[in-house]
Amino acid sequence: MKLPRLALAIALLPASPTFAAEDQEAALKLSETLISANRDVQQRSASSAASTVFTRADIERLQPSSVTELLQRVPGVQVTQNGSGSLASLYIRGTKSAQSLVLVDGMRIGSASSGDSNLQHLNIEQIERIEVLRGPRSAMYGADAIGGVVQIFTRRSSGEGFKPFVRVGYGSRGTWQRSAGISGGDEATRFSLAGSLDETNGIDRTGTSYAADQDHDAYRNKAFSLSLSHSFSDKLEAGVNVLDQRGRTEFDNPFGRFDMTTFESVEQDPYSDFTVSSVSSYLDAQLNDTWNSRLEVGHSENREESLDKLSDERGVFNTYRDSVNWLNTLSLSDSHSLMLGADWYEDQLNSNTAFAEQQRWNQAAFIQHRYDGEHFSTELGLRHDKNEQFGSENTWSGALTLPLNERNDLIASYSEGFRAPTFNDLYYPDYSNPDLQPEHSKSVELQWRSQLAATTRLEASVYRTDIEDAIASDQDFIPQNIAKARIHGFEAALQQELFGWQGQLGVAFIDPRDRDSGHTLNRRARRTLSLDLDRSYGDVAIGASWQAVSSSYDDPDNQYQLAGYGLLALRSSWQATPELKLEAKLDNLLDKDYSRSLYEHEGERYSYSQEGRSALIGFVWTPEL
C-alpha cells in the first residue's frame, strides 16, 4: 500500500481498526499514527495516551546527535547525562530511570541489575521512529512503566527498488559520524541494512579531580541494524529486526577507588566496554475479518564490562533476556474492539559479583476493550503479572474521551503502575533485600486536545501521580519499601505553522515531592521549555532550537542546588543535487557553562562539565540505482 493512501485511510477511520501487517510497516513513517499505546496501529488522536512521535523525517530535520538529545524535546521528559557515552538518567513526569520502560521493536532492553536502559548507546542513525508515552502503561506492559514508555523502532525500507545512503559528519573535539546503508524490496519483500561508526575525543568531565581524570573522555560506538519482512499473502507476514550497538566509553571517577590495604581512596583511569542489542521476529496473521493475531519472539542483551587502566579491578554486569508476546486484536464491530494478549520473558544476569540469584521469569495476560462512539469513547484495560520472585500483580487503567466539538476533545483517565525490584535491590551482596515488594503508583490525568486552527494544534495535560512502597536505602544502605512520592504536573505541546515557519513548543511544570520529607525529588527541574523553529526556502532549510531548564537539587536533602540554564542551537541543510545534501549545525551557540549533576572530591563538591559550543558539518549521499 502506498504511503499517501495509508495516511488517508487512517485519517478517515473513526475507530481502532485492525491493520494489515504491511500497513503497520508503512505506519512507522507517519506522525499521525501511534503503535505503542495499545500495541497496535491506531490514530494518535484516537489514543488516550499523552504521546510524542518522532519519525525519520523529524530526525533528519532536527539533526540530533543522539537519542537523549531528541528526547529532551518531549514535554515532561528530562535527561541527565555527563558527556557523550555517559550514563543517561531518564525522568518522565518526575519519575526516575528505573520507573520508565524502554523498548526496541517491542523488546525490553534494560539492565536487570541496575534498571537502566543505556539509552545513550542507541545510535540515532539506526532508528526509524521513536514513540514516547507519558504516564503509567502497566496495564499493557507490566512492570517498570510508571513514568511512561519509550519505544524505538529500527530503520525500515524506504520503498521499492534499491535505495542506498552514505552519511559522513565531522565536528568539534575530533567528532566523526559515519554511516551507510541500503534499503528496498518489492511488493512482497522489504529490507533495510545499515551500519555506523561514531567517535569523539570528548571533554574533561570533572576538572578538579585526580590527575588521571584530567584528560578527555573519549567515546566510540559501532552500530548495526537489519530489518527484513516478507508478505506470503495479503493476510500473512513474517519479519525480523536486529539492532546492535557496541563500543567503549571512557569516564572519570572523582570519588576514587577504595584500597582495602591502605583504607584510602586512590585514583582510577576507568572505562567500559558495552553492548546493547536486540533481535525480534514476528508472524502476523489476519485470521478472518474480525481477528488479527501477532506472535513476537525476541532476545536482548545489555552487557557492560568496567575496567581500570591503573589496577586489575573489573566489573561485569551482563543481562540476557528472552521474550515471547502473543497479541490478538478483535474488531467486534465498527465501535467495539478488544485486545487480548499474553507476555513471557526471562532475565538472566551474568556477573563477576556473587548475586544470590541470577535468573527470574515473568508471565502475564492482559485484556483491553475500546469503544468509539459518536458522543463519547472509552478504554478499559486489565493485566495480571506473575513473577518468579515477587509473586502476582494486578494493574488496570481506564479512560473516557468526550468530543466537545469537531475541534476539541477532553480525556479523563486513571491508570496504575508498578516497578519490579532490580537484581541489585534484591540480591547484591551485603546491600540488598530479598523481601522487597514492587513499587506501586496511581495516576489521574485530564487532557485537552484542540485543533485551534488549520495550522495550529494544542495538546495539554494536568496530572497527579502517587507512588507508594518506593524503594529507598535505610541508614545501613539496605533497600526498603519506605519511600513515598507525589508528583503534580502540567505539560503542553503546541504545533504552529505561520508565515512558512514550522514551530513546535513544549512546556512542562512539575512538583515532584518526597511525601515524608517534603523535599523536591533530586535532579528534577520544576520547569522546562523546548522550542523548535524550521523553514524551507526551496532546496535550503534552516532551523533553531531553544531549551530552557530551571534549577534543581542534586541531592535528596535539597542541600546542593544546580542552576538553571538555556541552550540555543542552529541548524541548516542544502539539497545541492537530487543525490547530495549538505548539513551543518551549531550546538550550545552561546557557549553556556552549565551542569546537570555534582560530584565530591576531597570533601568539596564540584560540577560535572558539559560540552560548550560545538559544530558539526556533514553530507548525505543518496545515489539512484
Please tell me the predicted confidence (pLDDT) of residue 465.
Answer: 97
Residue 3 has pLDDT above 80, yes or no: no
Residue type present at position 530: S
Parallel, antiparallel, or unpaired: how do β-strands 580-587 and 552-553 relate?
A: unpaired
User: Looking at per-residue confidence, does 555 or 23 come out higher?
Assistant: 555
In this predicted model, what pLDDT tens digit does every residue of 258-268 receive, in sequence order? 776 776 788 88
- Are 319 and 111 within 8 A, CB to CB? yes
SS3 content of the chain, % helix, strand, coil (to 5): 10, 55, 35
Please tell me the predicted confidence (pLDDT) of residue 263.
Answer: 66
Give percent above pLDDT 70 in the chain: 96
Please tell me the predicted confidence (pLDDT) of residue 358.
Answer: 93
Q: Report the predicted TM-score, pTM, of the whole model to 2 decimal places.
A: 0.93
Please tell me the predicted confidence (pLDDT) of residue 16.
Answer: 42
Task: Name which of 444, 547, 517 is nearest 487 in CA terms.
Answer: 444
4 confidence band (pLDDT: 50, 70, 90): very low
Summary mean pLDDT of the chain? 91
Residue 381 has pLDDT above 90, yes or no: yes
Q: Which of 27-31, 60-64, 113-117 has the lowest mean pLDDT?
A: 27-31
Measure Cα distances from 243 to 111, 150, 345, 366, 518 in Å: 16, 16, 19, 28, 43
Helix (H), strand (E) at residue 557:
none
In this predicted model, what pLDDT tens digit does every residue of 70-121 receive, in sequence order? 999 999 999 998 877 788 899 999 999 999 999 999 999 989 999 888 899 9
In this predicted model, what pLDDT tens digit does every residue of 591-613 receive, in sequence order? 999 988 988 888 888 888 899 99
23 confidence band (pLDDT: 50, 70, 90): low
Delimit the domains of the chain by residue range.
Answer: 3-621
Residue 15 has pLDDT above 80, yes or no: no
Helix (H), strand (E) at residue 21:
helix 21-27
Which alpha helices (DSSP H) does 243-307 contain, by range?
Answer: none
- List the grid coordinates of 339: 485486545
Q: How far apart are the first and last CA of the chain?
A: 22
Helices (H) and strands (E) counted in the chain, each on its own, are 6, 37
Strand partners of residue 24: none
Q: Which DSSP symbol is given to 520?
A: B
Residue 188 has pLDDT above 70, yes or no: yes
- List the grid coordinates of 243: 539492532
Q: How far is CA 312 from the centre of its chain?
A: 35
Residue 8 has pLDDT above 70, yes or no: no
Q: Which of 21-25, 159-163, 594-598 has the lowest mean pLDDT?
A: 21-25
Residue 12 has pLDDT above 50, yes or no: no
Residue 2 has pLDDT above 60, yes or no: no
Residue type present at position 260: M
Q: Which residues contact 338 (CB under 8 A, 6 or more apart)?
A: 329, 330, 332, 367, 368, 369, 370
- Report the C-alpha gap between 64 and 177 in whole angstroms: 12
Residue 161 has pLDDT above 60, yes or no: yes
Please tell me the predicted confidence (pLDDT) of residue 253.
Answer: 85
Parallel, antiparallel, or unpaired: how do β-strands 148-154 and 100-104 relate?
A: parallel
In this predicted model, what pLDDT tens digit does every residue of 462-490 receive, in sequence order? 999 999 999 988 888 899 998 999 999 99
Provide the 3-class DSSP secondary structure of residue 71: helix
Provide the 3-class DSSP secondary structure of residue 391: strand
Q: Which residues contact 579 (CB under 8 A, 6 or more apart)?
A: 621, 622, 623, 624
Task: Name which of 358, 241, 260 is nearest 298 in CA terms.
Answer: 241
- List the grid coordinates of 411: 480525556
Q: How many CA atoms lie within 13 A of 398 on its CB side?
A: 1
Task: Name which of 603, 85, 566, 40 is nearest 327 in CA terms.
Answer: 40
The second-level CATH assignment, the architecture, of 3-621 is Beta Barrel (2.40)
**What value does the mean pLDDT take over residues 229-244?**
95
- Report the C-alpha gap between 110 and 117 in whole angstroms: 4
Please tell me the predicted confidence (pLDDT) of residue 246.
Answer: 96
